[in-house]
Amino acid sequence: MLDVDQKHHLHPWEHMGSWKEGERYAFTRGDGIYVYDGAGRRLIDGPAGMWAVQIGYGRKEMADAIAAQVMELPYASPWSSTTAPAAALAEKVAAMAPENLNTVMFTTGGSTAVDTALRTMQFMNNRLGRPGKKIIIAREKGYHGSTYLAASVTGKERDKSCFDFEDRLVRFLPDVNPYIRPEGMSEAAWCDAKVDDLERLIADVGPEYIGAFIAEPVLCSGGVIIPPEGYHRRTLELCRRHDILYISDEVVTAFGRLGHWFASEEVFGIEPDIITCAKGITSGYLPLGACIISDRVMERMTGADHDVLFPNGYTYSAHPVCCAAALKNIEIIERDGLLEHVRAIAPQFQERLTALESSPIIGDARGMGLLGCLEGLIDGRNTPLDVQRTLGARLDEACEARGLIVRPLINMCVFSPPLTISPEQVDQMFDILTDAISEVE
């Protein structure tokens, strides 16, 4: 399977030409928190696919719900019609989202949800007669997707260096990771410094030119970076003061990863203007994303005039089969009490994670809910992160040999297992990590 694949299939973020045997998995099936490869090896899926498979693999009721919708109505144009699953899912998502976010635009995934959020801001400001208020403030290391606009607000240097992105429209804030704060600085002082970064940037650029601030509640692909206490609340306050839309990118954090439907309000105590989500909305069984918009933004988009065209959307927006999958996925999360389960199991997960910091090669073991990251020890806390570039890959190899997949990210590795993971399986996962670290040390 891998031979054919290598000849004809270009993967996301592929190291073209340098792919080697053993570097890629060929999965044949999944069951619970496990995936199986061609050789019949069973592996714990540490990253839940790509931060997605909340309810675990092999759920027959998902297959039944998907099949039933395919037979009933596999597709309908989202331009000229709606369908029962699309209407029901929009109502459900609006009810789960923070109180004043009641309008849902469905997209094909996370990148298109972010695109839609940013275009909403542009459209709103054009409608309000302030076409200059369009600059987007994003953050170094943030990841928001791979369409042109979503990639333009992504703050990963390596990825940006390969293309010509929309730099005119975007400004980046420095890393907020408390791990890299100067020796001796308290977390509160670090928070002050990071909020000051935003305040200064707004003053430098001029608030009349800034349309949106986009942030992940926990910055995930950049290395599970948890902002200092109070950061989101204070940055939201700054945005409100300057009439800048606050876009919370919850593509990873929504649908249970932190033990709540949405992390913005329930974990970080903020009500953003727009929330973007995807992945966990269907547990990855089918592709779907959503951009959830506040009543105030909707009012400002339409104004007194009720016949306003918003030319944005996709052939597969609100795809009825994907919406049916999302409804069944949400029903399973509710019925099986998975949010409560995550809240109950997270302390054990985080305690085992933190214990890994005792290794001489681990500098920081951080996480929240069922999100975790191990970062290699860096020599003097502010040296560039390329010091131990291969740590992620070495840990990945050592874990794989013991039956666990992790996601290597240069000198880090991250994991976010299915939400169904049991206490015994958490122990199994961290026993493997402990062994793997000892091998790599």
Is residue 106 within 8 Å of residue 86, measured between CB atoms?
yes
Minimum Å gap between C-beta 216 and ligand PLP is: 5
Minimum Å gap between C-beta 372 and ligand PLP is: 15
- Whole-number Å distance between alpha carbons of 36 and 47: 14
- Whole-number Å distance between alpha carbons of 277 and 252: 7
Q: Among residues 145, 211, 367, 418, which is the contact residue for ligand PLP, using CB under 6 A?
A: 145
Structure tokens at 281: 């909305």
The C-alpha torsion from 77 through 83 and 87 to 89, rounded to 10°, is -90
Compute the C-alpha angle 82/84/87, nearest 5°: 65
Please tell me the count of residues contacting ligand PLP according to CB under 6 A: 14
Please return the burial class of 153, using the count of CB atoms within 10 Å of its CB with bins 0-12, 13-18 and 19+: buried
Segment 86 to 115, residues that bind ligand PLP, using CB under 6 A: 109-111, 114
| 277 binding ligand PLP? (CB under 6 A) | no
Segment 369 to 398, residues that bind ligand PLP, using CB under 6 A: none
Pick the closer one to ligand PLP by CB: 13 or 306: 13
Minimum Å gap between C-beta 246 and ligand PLP is: 15
Pick the closer one to ligand PLP by CB: 252 or 365: 252
Is residue 24 within 8 Å of residue 386, measured between CB atoms?
no
Minimum Å gap between C-beta 351 and ligand PLP is: 26
Pick the closer one to ligand PLP by CB: 114 or 371: 114
Pick the closer one to ligand PLP by CB: 145 or 392: 145
Q: How many helices (H) and strands (E) does the chain have?
A: 15, 15
| 278 binding ligand PLP? (CB under 6 A) | yes
Sheet holding 34-37, edge to edge: 27-31, 34-37, 42-45, 404-405
Pick the closer one to ligand PLP by CB: 118 or 437: 118
Name residues whose C-beta falls within 8 Å of residue 439's C-beta, 6 or more positions apart in sequence. 398
Is residue 163 within 8 Å of residue 156, measured between CB atoms?
no
Minimum Å gap between C-beta 276 and ligand PLP is: 7
| 400 binding ligand PLP? (CB under 6 A) | no
Pick the closer one to ligand PLP by CB: 109 or 211: 109
Segment 206 to 245, residues that bind ligand PLP, using CB under 6 A: 216, 220-221
Minimum Å gap between C-beta 112 and ligand PLP is: 7
Q: Which residues bind ligand PLP (CB under 6 A)?
A: 109-111, 114, 143-145, 216, 220-221, 249, 251-252, 278
